[in-house]
Amino acid sequence: MIRILLVDDQRLVRAGFRSILDGEDDFAVVAEAADGREALQAAHDHRPDVVLMDIRMPVLDGLAATRHLLEDPGVTAKVIILTTFDLDEDVYSALRAGASGFLVKDTEPEELIHAVRVVARGDALLAPSITRRLIAEFAARVTRPAASPALDRLTDREREVLALVAAGLSNDEIARELTLSPATAKTHVSRIMTKTGTHDRAQLVVLAYESGAVTPRWLAL
């Protein structure tokens, strides 16, 4: 059972998401919160697996709440950021804060359900509609790469896989690109996360670009 915390200052929005999620046998919406401060308390009280977090809220906004949650060793939840615009300035900041997924609020119910499941198992990055565009936005801002000793432990194959993760490819797409089985691609990604101390694909993308391990072609020209 995937335990979910809904965080949004609009009650109708929370009700809409709950109506979609409650219809799934493997989902349980364990709590709701109207602002980031309530979200922090609810995360401690109910131990959700996934938090659907709005960005713009009173008292404590979604960005600050996400940072607090992911810095707390007692919280293991994955955060999916909800945004009105698919290239919202704040989404870039949320990616750096370690959020595991991003969805626009007008996403289709099937995409929401899928996103919760894949984020819960650690496989998600971003909604398909914004993945490569947001990565491009992120990469374009990185001007001074900082070396990361963690990357020295990667094999040549793992570096190839890291570059494809940073390009927004899923495990299945990585498998096709490198002529591997999907299970082998997933194993490579898991090993990379273990070696680099990252907890999901979003953090891998941040590490890849901020360390200079991956340089997009449009920046290298």
pLDDT score of 216: 57
Over the stretch 7-24, which tens digit does the pLDDT of each residue have?
Answer: 999 999 999 999 999 999
Transcribe 89-118 into DSSP letters.
HHHHHHHHHT--EEEETT--HHHHHHHHHH
| Parts of the chain with a pLDDT under 50 | 128-129, 218-221
Over the stretch 121-155, which tens digit does the pLDDT of each residue have?
Answer: 776 555 544 555 556 666 566 555 566 787 888 99
pTM above 0.85, yes or no: no
Whole-angstrom Cα distance, residue 125 to residue 114?
A: 12
Nearest Cα neighbor of 53 from 72, 37, 74 is: 37
Place of tokens 């626009």: 104
Half-sphere exposure of 187 (CA within 13 A, CB side): 6
Whole-angstrom Cα distance, residue 56 to residue 62?
A: 6
pLDDT score of 219: 46
